[in-house]
């Protein structure tokens, strides 16, 4: 009896139910994606957050000009080519901050 | 009877010490009233500085991660090429694996550092200057860990360089033999 009534109600308000269903599914999907966004740590690296506009300019493109192929022969010239790429990447790393504590001392924060 | 109670007390104390050890937070040195007042007066400015550090550290984290990923891809390519050409230098793969593992820890520890630093920034430091200072100490320790990971990766990269040198010697020797 109740099932028949329910079916009758659903038939009468089909459009409304479809819209409500879409909203509920959308809400659940949003909850899942937001939880993944925060739990994966992506939120911490998201530079589209308010206040991080100027940080975006500091992010560099660290892709080397040439990729080293995983296949092919190995000879002294190829080893030199790799060494050049390796040195280039290490130089790029050395030019970045290494989280030294100079900026984070009690003195620099004026709470000594 | 008294001896048994004493033993039980010692064992209980040891168990409590062992079980609670992971939950004990790093504590700063005791602060005197003058220092607490100074922290209260300057903490808003300190929080502003920490906000700037946080923003600059995010950029460093992203740039470092990009550089490590790129470097690891190049290293994996060389390892693969060495294996395909029948060169055996196991240190190449070992160091690559070590760097990849440390890089994963670096990324995890960055998350933890950011959470701690943000917690210190969000504190009402004028009302809770001691809690604020403890939070700063905890965040600083988390930041030091990042620095340590970077140093470990640097040492592993130096080791990898030695493996490259060894491979280069083998390649040169074979090249001279073939000539």
Enter the tokens of residue B36.
């607490």
B150 touches chain A (CB under 8 A): yes
**A100 — pLDDT class (breaks 50, 70, 90):** confident
> Could you tell me the CA-to-CA distances from B92 to A12, A104, B4 in Å, in that order?
70, 36, 58
Q: Which among B78, B143, B161 has CB closest to A99? A: B143
> Lowest mean pLDDT: which of A47-56, A57-66, A87-96, A97-106?
A57-66
- pLDDT given for residue B37 in this prediction: 92
A33 touches chain B (CB under 8 A): no
- pLDDT given for residue B57 in this prediction: 92
The alpha-carbon gap from A110 to the nearest alpha carbon of chain B, in Å, equals: 6
- In this prediction, residues A86-109 reach a mean pLDDT of 90
CB contact under 8 A, B56 and A97: yes
**A37 — pLDDT class (breaks 50, 70, 90):** confident
> Lowest mean pLDDT: which of A23-37, A92-106, B26-40?
B26-40
The alpha-carbon gap from B89 to the nearest alpha carbon of chain A, in Å, equals: 14
- pLDDT given for residue B117 in this prediction: 95
B-chain residues near A58 (CB < 8 A): 56, 59, 63
For the stretch B111-165, pLDDT in tens is 999 999 999 999 999 999 999 999 999 999 999 999 999 999 999 999 999 999 9
B-chain residues near A53 (CB < 8 A): none
For the stretch B8-46, pLDDT in tens is 655 655 555 444 444 444 555 678 888 999 999 999 999
- pLDDT given for residue A3 in this prediction: 87
- In this prediction, residues B50-54 reach a mean pLDDT of 92
- In this prediction, residues B70-77 reach a mean pLDDT of 94
- pLDDT given for residue B19 in this prediction: 45
- In this prediction, residues A3-20 reach a mean pLDDT of 90
> Could you tell me the CA-to-CA distances from A95 to A91, B21, B67 in Å, in that order?
6, 39, 11
**A62 — pLDDT class (breaks 50, 70, 90):** low
Cβ-based neighbour number of residue B103 at 10 Å: 20
A55 touches chain B (CB under 8 A): yes
> Lowest mean pLDDT: which of A5-14, A38-47, B32-41, B108-117?
A38-47
- pLDDT given for residue B8 in this prediction: 64
- pLDDT given for residue B6 in this prediction: 62
Gap between the Cα atoms of A34 and B23, Å rounded: 29
Burial code (b: 16+ CB inside 10 Å, e: under 16) for B154-177 equals: eebbebbeebbeebbebbeebeee
- pLDDT given for residue B18 in this prediction: 45
Query: CB burial class (10 A; 0-12, 13-18, 19+) of residue B72?
Result: middle
**B167 — pLDDT class (breaks 50, 70, 90):** very high
Q: Which among A52, A68, A92 has CB closest to B78? A: A68
- pLDDT given for residue B28 in this prediction: 57
> Could you tell me the CA-to-CA distances from A15 to A18, A25, A27, B172 in Å, in that order?
5, 15, 18, 76
Closest residue in B to A69 (Cα) is B77
């Amino acid at each position: 009896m109740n099932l028949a009534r329910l079916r009758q109600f659903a038939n009468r308000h089909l459009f409304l139910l479809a819209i409500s269903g879409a909203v509920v599914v959308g809400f659940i999907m949003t909850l899942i994606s937001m939880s993944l966004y925060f739990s994966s740590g992506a939120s911490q690296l998201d530079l589209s957050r308010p206040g991080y506009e100027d940080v975006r300019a500091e992010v560099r493109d660290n892709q080397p000009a040439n990729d080293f192929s995983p296949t092919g022969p190995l000879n002294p010239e190829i080893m030199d080519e790799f060494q050049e790429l390796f040195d280039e990447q290490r130089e790029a790393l050395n030019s970045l901050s290494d989280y030294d504590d100079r900026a984070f001392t009690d003195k620099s924060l004026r709470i000594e | 009877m008294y001896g048994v109670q004493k033993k039980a007390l010692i064992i209980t104390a040891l168990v409590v010490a062992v079980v609670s050890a992971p939950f004990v937070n790093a504590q700063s040195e005791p602060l005197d009233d003058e220092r607490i007042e100074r922290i209260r007066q300057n903490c808003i400015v300190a929080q502003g500085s920490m906000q700037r550090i946080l923003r600059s550290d995010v950029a460093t984290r992203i740039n470092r991660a990009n550089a490590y990923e790129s470097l690891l891809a190049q290293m994996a390519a060389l390892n693969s090429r060495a294996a395909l050409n029948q060169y055996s230098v196991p240190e190449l793969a070992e160091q690559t694996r070590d760097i990849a593992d440390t890089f994963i820890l670096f990324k995890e520890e960055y998350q933890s550092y950011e959470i701690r630093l943000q917690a210190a920034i969000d504190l009402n430091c004028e009302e809770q200057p001691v809690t604020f200072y403890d939070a700063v100490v905890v965040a600083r320790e988390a930041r030091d860990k990042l620095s340590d990971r970077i140093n470990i990766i640097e040492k592993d990269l130096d080791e990898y360089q030695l493996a490259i040198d060894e491979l280069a010697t083998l390649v040169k020797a074979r090249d001279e033999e073939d000539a």
